[in-house]
Amino acid sequence: MASLSEYLAWRGDITFDKVSLNVVDALLLSQLSYLDLRGIIGKAEHKKECTLAQAARRFWQLHTEEEFEDCLSFAVRSAGILLRDMAKTRRFRDLILQNYVNRNDLTMEEQFTALEIVLGKRESFISFGGTDDTLIGWKEDFNMCFLSPIPAQLDAKSYLESVLLGGGRKVYIGGHSKGGNLAVYSAVKCKKLFRRNIIQVYNFDGPGFNKEFIESERYQEMKERIETWVPESSVVGMLLEHEEDYQVVKSSQNGFMQHDATSWEVLGAEFVRLPAVKESSRRMAAGVKEWMSGLSPEELEQFGERIYEVFTVTDAKTLADLNKDRWKSITAMIQSFSAVDKKTKDMLFDLVKAMVSANVKKESSKKGEPEETKQIGSAGPARSVGRKKLP
């Protein structure tokens, strides 16, 4: 089956004027907001907007292949390569990139990026960035488990409304990982007068929401325009709650590395679909949910703070910082964890135990049952091939 790069070679000579946006295009555009485009698109008058080809040229003048090979964030690494490949095609090279925002706020515990890509015909794609390699970004992801809304969700809503303020423009909204969550949140929570301008929302392996959010009237009104894709071994996309239908995509990778969207397999202008998420992913999600259900928001917040302190004891700000002197970092983190209070250690142990217990119980209960039809909370088979409800 084809990859995203092979899709660009196949469809790259056909502009959006001829063939409108499809789900593979949406994933490609969602990847661009992972990149640090400060100094390329910004506040300076001559840099408020540029074509995708201009952005690619400027970006690769600032970065090297070697730098990207050493990048620990596979999403950022892949996005840089995709930007360069997209710039070589007629379909993407002349698209206008504008309204770029990049915010990392340690005080607010926020990592937020957003980008508008003008498709033409008064249509745009709003791309929300997922988690990069900053530790504060990963901390913010954990905050989703007990805090609603998180700062990035509020900024996503405000960003979408600011883009639509001019009126008349129709938009697609999308994002990968946390960016998918932000795409859904912004579409559901934006002012009602703007919602008619939303064509489609794409959530690529992004975590869900709490029950109050998905049972809300606003979400129910929007859910038919939400398209969610997860890989077979999804972990991130199975967290928290979903109600919208989701579709399962085949990946060339294994395990957690299936979260890397460049591993998703393409057939024409669609993804290669599979009948269901692997049971191991469901079990892991069930274990995490079981653990979370036994803790208060205050306990979850305390747990996240303590674990974050362990990782930042070396003054590291990114995963790359931790990797520069990994043995020194590991030693410092072990020493820091030894000083963590007993309650936090017990909570970490209970999390691992809950995940293992869920595995054991599911392994015992599924003997003789095909993995593809196993559902959490349901003894029946999947409703339809490639399109399910998340547990």
Q: Which of 237, 252, 274 is the last residue of a domain?
A: 274
Same domain? For 263 and 315 the reply is: no
Nearest C-alpha neighbor of 359 from the set 258, 268, 279: 279
Q: Do the beta carbons of residue 248 and residue 388 sit within 8 Å?
A: yes
How many structural domains compose the chain?
2
Nearest C-alpha neighbor of 340 from the set 376, 361, 313, 377: 313
Same domain? For 67 and 193 the reply is: yes
Can you give the CATH number for the domain in which 128 is found? 3.40.50
Supply the mean pLDDT for the chain: 81
Same domain? For 249 and 135 the reply is: yes
Same domain? For 116 and 12 the reply is: yes
Position 384 pLDDT exceeds 60: no
- Weakest-pLDDT range from 56-65, 236-245, 355-364: 355-364
Same domain? For 298 and 181 the reply is: no
Does 94 map to a domain?
A: yes
Same domain? For 119 and 172 the reply is: yes
Same domain? For 257 and 292 the reply is: no
Same domain? For 261 and 293 the reply is: no
pLDDT at 387: 47
Does 387 map to a domain?
A: no
Same domain? For 142 and 200 the reply is: yes
Identify the domain containing residue 289 by its residue range: 283-368
Which residues have CB under 8 Å from 69's CB, separation 6+? 77
Position 323 pLDDT exceeds 90: no
Query: The pTM is what?
Result: 0.81
Say which residue, 193 or 359, is predicted with more confidence.
193
Does 386 map to a domain?
A: no
- Weakest-pLDDT range from 113-117, 192-196, 214-218, 251-255: 251-255
Confidence category of residue 240, pLDDT binned at 50, 70, 90? low
Q: Omega of the bond prior to 370 within 30 degrees of 0, cis?
A: no
Does 373 map to a domain?
A: no
Please state the length of the chain.
Answer: 391
Confidence category of residue 382, pLDDT binned at 50, 70, 90? very low
Position 327 pLDDT exceeds 70: no
Same domain? For 295 and 235 the reply is: no
- Weakest-pLDDT range from 99-108, 154-163, 258-267: 99-108
pLDDT at 135: 63
pLDDT at 233: 79
Does 316 map to a domain?
A: yes
Does 380 map to a domain?
A: no
Q: Which of 274, 300, 326 is the last residue of a domain?
A: 274
Q: Which of 274, 298, 317 is the last residue of a domain?
A: 274
Does 384 map to a domain?
A: no
pLDDT at 288: 75
Tokens of 341: 């209070």
Residue 256 CB coordination number (10 Å): 14
Same domain? For 9 and 155 the reply is: yes
Determine the Cα angle at 71 with ends 66 and 76, to 5°.
115
The share of the chain scoring above pLDDT 90, in percent, equals 43
pLDDT at 18: 94
The share of the chain scoring above pLDDT 70, in percent, equals 77
pLDDT at 283: 78
What are residue 123's DSSP bridge partners?
120, 170
Same domain? For 354 and 223 the reply is: no
* pLDDT tens-digit readout, 296-309: 878 877 777 777 67
Position 53 pLDDT exceeds 90: yes
Does 375 map to a domain?
A: no
Mean of pLDDT values over 53-66: 92
Alpha-carbon span 362 to 348, nearest angstrom: 22
pLDDT at 391: 46
Confidence category of residue 319, pLDDT binned at 50, 70, 90? low
pLDDT at 235: 66
pLDDT at 71: 64
Position 367 pLDDT exceeds 50: no
pLDDT at 218: 95
